[in-house]
Structure 1
Amino acid sequence: MQTLTALLFNDFETLDLFGPIEMFGCLPEDYRLQFASINGGVTHSKHGVAIQTTAVKDLTHQTDILLMVGGMGTRQQVNHREFLQTANLFTDQASWVLSGCTGSALLAKAGALNGRRATSNKLSWQWVIAQSDKVNWVKQARWVVDSKFYTSSGVSAGMDMALGFIADRHDIDTARKVAQYTEYRWQENSDMDDFYQK
């Protein structure tokens, strides 16, 4: 069993977290889920959804998969040295690093995506790419895979990425079964994003 750790902060985008978590949560024999923040306690999404988190230093299980969410709170976290250092620590330890939406801006600012291909939210594109000129930003993609990094586009794309990850680690049929169970119309082609505009 692998442990997925979501590293959270206030004003995160609700679906960036709960969309992928729904997909991974459908495979409880394969994935253990834990929710972390720098200091622990209750963390709130942009929409006021409260979630209990564990302080990074008190996590029970080592992180195999890091989930970095996005949202308006990223605007503060890109200037939060301790958060960026923690993100780098998790990135170094994890076998896989997944980001939703503007979560890739945090990874980029931390230097974790240097020399990598990555994507992000289309509506926040200019702000995201301004966080690092050392990343090969791919605007058109729904999600991008480069080595152990999976980065996805805006909000709902995190679910497509999560299913893509499941397909890569397991098989396409497993991913399709999860999509069927959640009644989600999965965009299976990572290069196709209906929300991309030239």
Structure 2
Amino acid sequence: MATLARRVWFLVVPRTSMINVAGPWEVFGHANDLLGREAYRLEAYGPTAGAVGTRYGLCLAGVRPLPTRLDTAPDIVVVAGASGADPMPEDHAPIVPWLRRYRPRVKTVVSICTGAFALAEAGVLDGRRATTHWLYHDALRTRFPKVRVIDEGIYVEDRGVWTSAGVTAGVDLALALVESHHGHALAMRVAKRMVLFLRRSGNQAQFSAALRNQERESPPMSKLSSFVLEHLDERISVERLAVQVGMSPRTLSRWCRKHLGGSPAEVVRRLRMDEARRQLEETTRPLKEVAARAGLGDQSTLWRVFVQDLGVTPAEYRQRFAVEGS
């Protein structure tokens, strides 16, 4: 008995980033080639028919108008966002009522980059974990308080709804979908065919905790991350940090929660994790030494925090992300 193709509809809006459409589309297309059959039937729809201009001038042709009546729902709907000054401009609004009406009939809903704003506007993300491009985390969180915005990770899945950081992260999300449908081996073959340097898990950070902290720190607080990074292999108490930045422990705790999204201990832990990841990517040090240098204690603690935070063991992380020649 022939296996039916999954119908994949890309919802394309004006000024979308071309890669938000082309990246995932290529993943599904290569999967079809490698399987020798049409496993994914790809179609593009938009608020209007015809060609849609993308953010940097190229046009996507062959876009069909969204049907007002849906006889057979697609299996997957991909909302390709359009990064810009306004993540949800007025001419993107027509896709929102369509999503609100037909979401219950669609098994898998995906957003790439700021496509998450359309899903949130339609209520699809209410009560769900979701992400978007890091530039828009705060805007998504402020505009849609019912959405559990995740700062870490390049894509998130929550009960059939997938959201990604956008740009190249859409490729990683599409590969994860292919793996869920057809297994790890096919997803890796697609990645190799697309000449990807590495295939990233959803837990891979959009950027490091140190970089994020330094961006958010005011000049008087600029010593915070630097001090922690210079003393990772030592015990770092709240009191010790407070002395470095000239605050009381209580004031420092309030400041960290407000500006860095966690307690001083959580901030230190993120930086320790970043350093452990860097060592696994760039060195061949034994796991015991990596744990000690990052201040994470012993090898068992390193294993536990990696599985808890990233969903992979330290050895698996090194295998995926080690820099060639390290």
TM-score normalised by the chain length of structure 2: 0.57
CA offset digits 1:21-61 (Å, max 9, x no partner)? 11011123210000001221211110112112101128896
Specify which of 171, 180, 183 is matched with residue 195 of structure 2. 183
Is residue 110 of structure 2 the alignment partner of residue 76 of structure 1? no
Q: Which amino acid aligns with 1:13?
A: S
Contact 2:88 2:118 in 1 (8 A): no
Does 2:159 match 1:152?
no
Percent of aligned pairs with the same amino acid: 25
Alpha-carbon distance between aligned partners in 1 of 2:7 and 2:72, rounded to the nearest angstrom: 7
* Structure 2 residue runs without a partner (length 5+): 33-37, 214-326
1:7 to partner: Cα distance: 0.7
Max Rg structure: 2
When structure 1 is superposed on structure 2, of 126-135 and 159-168 the one drifting more is 126-135
Q: Secondary structure at the match of 1:97?
A: strand
| Conserved? CA contact 1:163–1:175, under 8 Å | yes
CA-based RMSD of the aligned residues comes to 2.1
Residue 21 of structure 1 is aligned with which of 8, 25, 31? Answer: 25
Instruction: Calculate the TM-score normalised by the size of structure 1.
Output: 0.91
1:137 is displaced (CA, Å) by 0.8
More strand by share: 1
1:90 deviation in Å? 4.0
Bigger relative contact order (CA 8 A; separation at least 6): 1
1: distance between equivalents of 2:73 and 2:60?
Answer: 20
- Find out whether 1:38 has 2:47 as its counterpart: yes
Q: Indicate which of 53, 64, 75 corresponds to 1:54.
A: 64
Instruction: Give distance in 1, aligned partners of 2:8 and 2:95.
Output: 18
The answer (yes or no) to whether the contact 1:5–1:63 under 8 Å persists in 2 is yes
Q: Distance in 2 between matches of 1:104 and 1:78?
A: 16
Query: Number of matched residues?
Result: 197
Q: Would you say the 8 A contact 1:105–1:129 is kept in 2?
A: no
**Which residue number in structure 1 is paired with residue 74 of structure 2?**
63
